[in-house]
Amino acid sequence: MKSGIALFTAVLAGFAAPLVAAPGSAPLVIAHRGDSANLPEHTLAAYALAIAKGADFIEPDLVPTRDGHLVARHENEIGGTTNVADHAEFADRRTSKIIDGQRVEGWFTEDFTLAELKRLRTRERLPELRPGNSLFDGEEPIPTLEEILALVEQAGRPVGLYIETKHPSYFRSIGLPVEERLLQILASAGLDDEDAPVFLQSFEVGNLQRLRPQTDLRLVQLASAEGGPADRTDLRYADMLTPDGLAEVATYADGVGVEKNLVIPRDAEGRLLAPTTLVDDAHHAGLVIHAWTFRPENAFLPADYRSEGFPGARGRACEEIRTFLVTGLDGVFSDSVEDAVSARANRC
């Protein structure tokens, strides 16, 4: 079996010419946690494969270690995405915590040093839907932000970073603030001005407002179809995405990253309805708008684009993305870079 990095090298050889324009062009193809439909998410191999396939940006989610390093994991709880449960020496680290008002059990990055985390190996988060990815379980270590920066630097073409700070209020409350360390690392890499191919995103409001006077990098307010920011119990995402709400977001952010059903809703049978006015409303407020998350499996696709077969079977994701791009979106977060690149080029 080829390792993830070996697979990347083989695929890269088949993409001798860049498939897409440089970062900053629209619509952007943002590799959601790397090319995570084809390799376990948030690994150097998944990011490298995304770059090889033509992503404009790769998206690392960052969480801190006990000794202040920033590593890429979708959540600080790592029981489902690493082999930590197989390490008897870490059995006593399993615990329960309240994070953003929810009780979570497992193992948490903030309870490990970087050296300890480097003893672990990653695994596929959705093995029931992506059994092929599980073939790479146990191969890749958890990457640091510095390692991701080094990978991008070696890409041979411009590739941007679309970074999410996870649970920033929680981490600040336990003495592990992410924002200042993140800006320091980016500045050391020369990525600290408005022209840098970097977006910083968050589901919270306060940390984006804190970042605004500290950086010229582009900031993005994330929003789900339900609920509201963990740090602002007085706000709902639905209210933030009204014309008045978007005008307020524009005082501290440059864009919004929204759940795709907010752009084109679905009916009770899972079929797409008419687009909402959200794209136009965001543009009227002076904001770019990117939608998440486009995934190729039937379990995630609208009924219009599903194939026959089980939930993990792949449907017509390229056509779905193309339908959404027609609304005027400035970018899409996709688990399958190839589908997004093809959709942008109208090659479905």
Q: What is the mean pLDDT of the chain?
A: 93
**36 vs 143, 232, 288, 309, 344, CA distance in Å?**
15, 31, 24, 21, 19
Query: What confidence tens digit (pLDDT) does each residue in 72-82 have?
Result: 999 999 999 99
4-75+143-344: in CATH 3.40.309.10: no
Reported as a pLDDT band with limits 50, 70 and 90, residue 289 is: very high
CB 43 within 8 A of CB 326: no
Reported as a pLDDT band with limits 50, 70 and 90, residue 197 is: very high
Q: Work out the average pLDDT over 309-320.
A: 96
The residue count for the chain: 348
What pLDDT is stored for residue 230 in this prediction? 97
Residue 319 has pLDDT above 60, yes or no: yes
> d(Cα 272, Cα 213) in Å, to the nearest integer?
40
Q: Where are the beta strands (DSSP E) in 180-335?
A: 198-202, 218-223, 255-259, 288-294, 331-334
The secondary structure of residue 334, as a DSSP letter, is E
Classified as helix, coil or strand, 60 is coil
Query: What confidence tens digit (pLDDT) does each residue in 208-247 have?
Result: 999 999 999 999 999 999 999 999 999 999 999 999 999 9
What pLDDT is stored for residue 26 in this prediction? 72
Residue extents of the structural domains in the chain: 4-75+143-344
For residue 205, which of 172, 242, 186, 232 has the smallest C-alpha distance?
232
What pLDDT is stored for residue 18 in this prediction? 37
Residue with tokens 């790397």: 34
Reported as a pLDDT band with limits 50, 70 and 90, residue 23 is: very low
What pLDDT is stored for residue 11 in this prediction? 43
pTM greater than the 0.85 cutoff: yes
CB 329 within 8 A of CB 263: yes
Query: What confidence tens digit (pLDDT) does each residue in 25-46 have?
Result: 579 999 999 999 999 999 999 9
> d(Cα 343, Cα 140) in Å, to the nearest integer?
30
Q: What is the CA radius of gyration of the chain?
A: 19
199-203, Cβ contacts within 8 angstroms, sequence gap of 24 or more: 199/57, 199/160, 199/161, 199/162, 199/163, 199/254, 199/255, 200/163, 200/164, 200/165, 201/162, 201/163, 201/164, 201/165, 201/257, 202/164, 202/165, 202/168, 203/229, 203/230
Residue 5 has pLDDT above 70, yes or no: no
Element holding 185 (H helix, E strand): helix 179-188
Instruction: For residue 10, give every residue at least 6 positions away whose Cβ sits within 8 Å of its Cβ, in sequence order, or none.
Output: 2
Query: What confidence tens digit (pLDDT) does each residue in 136-180 have?
Result: 999 999 999 999 999 999 999 999 999 999 999 999 999 999 999
Residue 3 has pLDDT above 60, yes or no: no
> d(Cα 171, Cα 110) in Å, to the nearest integer?
9
Reported as a pLDDT band with limits 50, 70 and 90, residue 116 is: very high
CB 192 within 8 A of CB 217: yes
> d(Cα 37, Cα 40) in Å, to the nearest integer?
8
Residue 31, classified by CB atoms within 10 Å of its CB into exposed (0-12), middle (13-18) or buried (19+), is: buried
- Helix then strand count (H, E) for the chain reads 12, 12
